[in-house]
Amino acid sequence: MNGWHILYRGSLSSCNYGCDYCPFAKTSNSVDELQQDQRALDRFVAWVGETRRDIGVLITPWGEALVHRYYRRALVTLSRMAHVRRIAIQTNLAAPIDDLLDADRDALALWTTFHPSQTSLDRFTARCHEMDAAAIRYSVGVVGIREHFDAIAELRARLRPDVYLWVNASKHDPAYYQPGEVERLRAVDPYFHWNLPRYPSRGGSCRAGETAFTVAGDGGVRRCHFVGEIIGNIYEPGFDDALKPRPCPAETCGCHIGYVHRPELKLDGLFGAGLLERIPENWPKLYPRFAPARC
Ligand code: SF4
Ligand code: SF4
């Protein structure tokens, strides 16, 4: 495929939640910092508008972005660009979605995560039902720690059957899961096993840095979130000369947003057009038990 998959992450670092397992710095942002983040986002949106090629964007903030109206407006603007095949964002879904009703639903998608210690199933699923009514495409995920198992089962029962519910594996302890627990989670997410390992990746091929890349608020380009080397800047002419195949320099790769770009895993075939928002292309056709009942 000739298009680009772009992960955008500005300087926003604040979140309305405080999950114990959060890997990001839990900070608050001043008004000045938010304005700076907004200017950077506006500049990125303008750049996408001028870059007339097939583009998919996933916004992956350090904190929660959808609580800020300027992010909701950016999603709407990007969704309406004819050359933007997908605009997606990672979110805890706490914010109202009213502003998103102006978006082009063919391009918009949300990567939502349920955090059981921060909100209730009722509140989270009520927002999911609002998105169903608004015909907004979304996936739902949960961190697969033991304390969440019951909530995961209850969430699966409450979601529309054809909404894909993914589970992120706990990877701090390679022996974390006890006998039967992986099977229990695979009964909810049949693709859970893809997220279980940290894949050895050093020297392996990867489309990150070629057709997929990460953009920071200042325009700096890295091949992915997990490799620090800056390979260019989107605001400099000819930056795309730096986009080319190169071997992975990291020991392992363990996040969906990274390993889906490794050709040997063939996950681009599994996720297809839903790669950025984490919805398998044929979901739920391959798993009829998740398909809506016929009248
Ligand atoms: S909602 Fe996400 S960003 Fe916010 S504290 Fe939880 S894991 Fe971190
Ligand atoms: S394999 Fe993972 S860590 Fe390595 S370049 Fe690709 S996405 Fe980045």
Question: What is the Å distance from ligand 1's center to 117 Cα?
Answer: 11
| Exposure letters 229-249 (e unless 16+ CB within 10 A, then b) | eebbebeeeebeebbeebebe
Strands 55-59 and 4-9: parallel
Name all domains of the chain by residue range, CATH numbers in brackets. 4-290 (3.20.20)
Is the minimum distance from the CB of 253 to ligand 2 under 6 angstroms?
yes
CB-count burial class (<10 Å; 0-12, 13-18, 19+) for 5: buried
Pocket perturbation via mutation, ligand 1, pick of 12, 14, 19 by most ligand atoms within 8 A of CB: 19
Q: Give strand pairing partners of 14.
A: 27
Q: With residue 52 as reference, give the H or E element that holds it.
A: none
- Whether ligand 1 lies within 6 angstroms of the CB of 242 is answered as no
User: Which ligand neighbours the alpha carbon of 66 most closely?
Assistant: 1
Question: Could you tell which of 21, 27, 59, 92 is best to mutate to test the pocket of ligand 1, judged by most ligand atoms within 8 Å of the CB?
Answer: 92
DSSP string, 205-230: --SBTTTEEEEETT-EEESSTT---E
Q: How close are the terminal C-alpha atoms of the chain, in Å?
A: 38
Ligand 2 atom nearest the C-alpha of 253 is: 2
Ligand 2 midpoint to CA 265 (Å): 12
pLDDT by residue for the chain (295 residues), tens digit each?
469 999 999 999 999 999 988 877 578 899 999 999 999 999 999 999 999 899 999 999 999 999 999 999 999 999 999 999 999 999 999 999 999 999 999 999 999 999 999 999 999 999 999 999 999 999 999 999 999 999 999 999 999 989 999 999 999 898 999 999 999 999 999 999 999 999 999 999 999 999 999 999 999 999 999 999 999 999 999 999 999 999 999 999 999 999 999 999 999 999 999 999 999 998 877 666 666 554 3
Question: 198 with 171: CB under 8 angstroms?
Answer: yes
